Each structure stands twice: as structure tokens, then as C-alpha cells.
Amino acid sequence: MGRMERVRVPMSMLLVQTFTTGMMLLSKVVLSKGMFVFSLLAYRNAIGVLFVAPLAFSFEREMGRKLTYKALMWIFINAMFGVTLAMSLYYYGLKDTTAAYSSNFLNLIPIITFIIAVILGVERLRIRSSEGKIKLVGALLCVGGAVVFGVYKGKILHIWPSHQIITLQNLNNCKNTNILRGSFLLICSCFSYAFWFVTQVKLYKVYPSKYWGTVWTCFAGSLQTAILGIIMNRRKEAWRLKWDLQLLTIIYSGILNTGATFCLISWAVSQRGPTYPPMFNPLSVVFTTILESFLFGQKITIGSLLGMTMIFGGLYAFLWAKRKEILMKGKTSEGDGSVTVLPVSDKD
């Protein structure tokens, strides 16, 4: 097994967080200018369908004929948690707060996913093993880093001259800012995302297709959000598309944050389990902080650097322990005479 083969899954999750960072910054701008959340979601997922469908026809043509009623049920549930609830709640929370503030809540997703996965029996805690203890410490360290990042400020660091492309005042030009309401919506979004990662496992068992699974999930999500959006707002202005930043945000989010991200996350969950992808969410906090500082003049402090260090340390600890668990499972299967010597993730 070569070095490149070992880093494919973590590198794919690094791409996901890069896409997420761009989405948060763009979405904050267009939402602050009044774009309707459900029209953004409906168009975004429709673009995702158009982007992934050719890949599904090219690489998984036969899976398109294997869609069952049970698979359709899990696709509907998957879209409900991952698109309709998680994304809409996050967008409304983002609208009420800022990109840097809302990105901190993504760090709650790993620990919530881990707890739910353990309760539902999808993931085992294995607290008596050294790997289980390190995983737990790593998850707590990530959450602790997020808390330090958001609460402790300290001395302001002047890393580079202030040459903003967009001023922070313009970015946060939202008269209806409500931190309390926004925080509540973001927490609810975290729980929805956690259930989405767990339902990914169920969906992949009944319908093991990363491309067709993504196509149908995006289609169901677009349909769900369009219906809810029309019920909430039937004005033509809320659904009209123009050649501006809103259209760029829809295309960017649809291709990278819906189509590509759903494929990558579905594949990563099938390789490493539901708790693996959300452990990379802290990286988007770091990326957002750096970009907001450079582009929008957001201040970087000692507290933010300390929080980033804790986040990276916790992430590394969790991934190291997860890697050891996978290798131990492979050795156990080999000792028991099982056909599968190593898990799928170590072959790809």
C-alpha cells in the first residue's frame, strides 16, 4: 500500500473543508443582501444533480436500475437531514451571525456525531483501549479548542497590512443580526448534520452507490426545499436569478459543496465510518479565520491561534487513533481466517 493510497481519504476531506470555507464566505455576503435561503438551497441542489448525473451514467450505469423502495426511503431521510434541515438551519444561523462565528459551531458536529453513533451502535467507544481513549481526548480537545477560539481573545496580532477587498462592515451589513437566535439555529443544524452522517451508513448499506446516491439525494433535497420555499415565499423576486454574486454562489455551492462534497463524504463514510468526515470540520474554522483576516480585516488574536493549535492537535490524535483501530481490525480479520484481510479503506 503506497503513501498516496493512504492519504486519499484525508485529502478528500481537506478538499471538502476548502469548499466549505468558500461557501460560508460567499453565502454570508448574498444572504446579508437578502437572498432567500430556500431558493438558494433548491437551485444549489439542482446544480448538484446536473453536475453528478454524468458521472453516475459514466461510472455506475448499472446502479441506476437497482433503486429499491427501501433505498428511496433512506434517500428521502438522507436529504431531509443533510439538505432540508441541516443546510437551511445553518444558512439562517449564518444570516443571524457571521461566517467566523458560525464556522465555530461546525466543531460540535464531530462530538455530536460520535455520541449519536455510539448510542445507535454504529460506532463503538472502546474506552478501555488506548485508541478509544485517544479518540475521546482528541474529540474533546477539538471542542475545547473551538471554545477557546470563540471565548478567549488576548493580544491582537498584526500579521499583514490591511488591504481589504471587501470591508468587514459591508460583509456584516445585516440589520437583523441576532446572536441568540442564530446560535440556537446553528446548534440545531449541528444535530441535523450529525444524524445525516449516521444515515449515510444506512443508505450505503442498502444502496452502495456514491454517484447515484448523491444524484437522488440532491434531487430529493431540491424538491423538498423548493416545496417548503414556495409555501413560505411565493414572490417572484425571491426565486429570480440574476447575473451577479448570487448566481456565482449557487453555481459554486451546487458543484463543489453539494455535488463534489456529497460524493466525497459518502465515499469517506463508506471507508472510515460516520465519525471520520466531521472530524475535519475544525479546519474550516482555521481557513475562514485566515481568509476573513486577509480579505475582510477580521482580527487574529492569541486566543484564536491557541484554539487553532488545540484543534489541530485534537484532530491529529483522533485520526491517529482511528487509523490504529482500522489496522487492528485488519489484523483481527486475518487472524480469524476471514476473507477480508484489510478494510476497504486501506486498499483504496
pLDDT tens per residue across span 121-140:
777 777 788 888 888 888 78
**Orientation angle between helical segments 282-296 and 302-335, nearest 10 degrees:** 150
Q: What is the pLDDT of residues 7-52, one digit of tens each?
A: 888 899 999 999 988 998 888 889 888 899 999 999 999 999 999 9
- For residue 18, CA distances in Å to 15, 25, 193, 285, 291 come to 5, 11, 18, 10, 11
Measured distance CA(341)–CA(244) in Å, rounded: 53
Q: What is the pLDDT of residues 294-329, one digit of tens each?
A: 776 667 788 878 887 887 788 778 878 877 877 777
* pLDDT of 176 higher than 60: no
The reported pTM is 0.77
Bridge partners of residue 156, in order along the sequence = 301
Phi, psi dihedrals of residue 33, rounded to the nearest 5°: -90, 5
Element (H, E) at 23: helix 3-32
Q: Which sequence spans correspond to the domains of the chain?
A: 11-326
Residue 344 grid coordinates: 476497504
Provide the CB-side half-sphere exposure for 185 (13 A, CA).
Answer: 21
C-alpha angle 175/177/183, rounded to 5°?
Answer: 170
Q: What is the pLDDT of residues 202-234, one digit of tens each?
A: 898 899 888 999 999 999 999 999 999 999 999
* pLDDT of 286 higher than 60: yes
Phi, psi dihedrals of residue 222, rounded to the nearest 5°: -65, -40
Report the pLDDT averaged over residues 135-156.
Answer: 79
User: Any residues with CB less than 8 A from the CB of 93 and at least 6 apart, and which?
Assistant: 102, 105, 182, 183, 184, 185, 186, 189
